[in-house]
Structure 1
């Protein structure tokens, strides 16, 4: 197998990025040291389809050092960093990805990665799993299992499992405490605003920010917007989450009302058609639209293009849509994940937790796949505690432990 990347000469720059994040991922460093000595994945093939930037590259290198033959591809056409891809190839991995690939190229890359006939997959959004249950179903029988990184992917997995069609066990890494409490909240919260601010070079303070979805990602985005001085409005369909947003100090209203007052809109729902024609027609001139959900379907790009009288590239990663009445609306990063398509993704210290959990979950698949049913499996509390304990130790913190008397008291219940 030969890699498909943009330019191998970009490798030195990619190595610099990987080395930088390595310095800030102590839990993954611990696992790397431990697994490099024992090499439990020796003789196994692992395909990684995660946003291909520096933190993902280090995850792939840890799996390689643990003995696996690792093949890497992206999970989004705009989130691959070509220098990082080159660095992985330079490190002896097979990579199929480049920035701004077409839909056809993206599908080709996924299929090339699966041509390696993997034993374990690490997926982000469910595209690998979808292929393994469709045109590449012939490979499913050889899959020990896999791990899923994000909410959208877990939802797709649960739909397959509910229909009795899931062909191998999958670990819902996204649902682990050490993933969603940190990655989805603090990671998304910071990286979304990193992407928006570096792309627009505009202030956030004083603006009205409309956040669609108040799950863990929405909570993080809203918290950071509030910290930046924005007036935050939440649009939700879940009454419990909407009530929580009110108790957290935010205004809550239907999107059609929020559309009239918002300056910046951020979708983070995992659903489709969240902002569409009816909302575009009432938006203020200059409104900025961004998406932080996995797929580019939350802001309806088809509707936006249809009602615009002209479009142009206003700035890198900013597309201008001029309405019939002269209003200009701006879409960031083609409606794809703004934090990755227009930024570097989550901070290294946050992905340290998520990717450490990926390694531990993959190891669990390796050791226990014969016992696992073809269902979506939750990550055990033991794994969460291990990752959290290692993180605390790396940050220089220690905590109390229960005495035997306290354990006995709690056990009385």
Structure 2
């Protein structure tokens, strides 16, 4: 038996062609009575060779500028200057590497030819938008890398067809917000990364749709640590208590908390966020073409609820000075009260003594007169 490799270096198919036991291919002694057998043998060999060539063309459709690997069932199309997904990917592909290319957009059903895909790497391309059905059919996808693209927003249905997803990396994009749901619940997601974006807040409901997440990367965003981030703070405290690992949420605004870790801000400094007016909710929002108008009773964008820190002394010296001044004032007041008391008592004593003096004067003449009378009486 002789083995031939299909598709040369990029092929995945192997075929075998039987040969003569002596090692000589198609070496037969032509005799007058063996023409029918020889004809049948050659015909069978030609049919086998033709079928092998046909199978090679069908099964070994590796793209021209990609490298296909048999053992790992992976296709490496990285750093090839591609502007779109290759159309002739082998259907058995499980790992597709498309990083460092120039792919600007992905149409719906872009990966329908590789339904067994488990790992997809789109790092460092030029993607600015993802169509809702772009990942449709990838029911076995587990790792999705969209790092360092130009994504500005995500629709809630974009990841709806990825029930087995375990790792999602959206780092180094221009995401300004994330929807409340991305097609969850994601029962298998364990790694979620959105660092180095333009996020100001994340809805707690989105994180609650990831019950098994263990690694969370949120650093280097424009976190606005006002009342709207209180839900995220509470969820993160519970997440860390259960053994989760994260890289931190550093506040960018307001100015009083710039550079502070969200988890280090006390709960008491948060005020409840104002709720929207029921009339506004019942109106269904703004109609297409209508201009926004001010709604009475609702705070505008410049008066959003901010953290109100409790007043506190600027430093220890000011606090000590305040205590000393307060003590001096209290001491002066006490001395004044003591002086007033002494003065009052002295005045009362003098007044009483003055009243007793005049009453005793008339008694002295009476005593003298009585003495004279006794002296003048006859012996």
TM-score by length of 1: 0.21
Higher strand proportion: 1
Q: Which has the higher contact order (CA 8 A, sep 6+)?
A: 1
Higher helix proportion: 1
Is the radius of gyration larger for structure 1 or structure 2? 2
TM-score by length of 2: 0.22
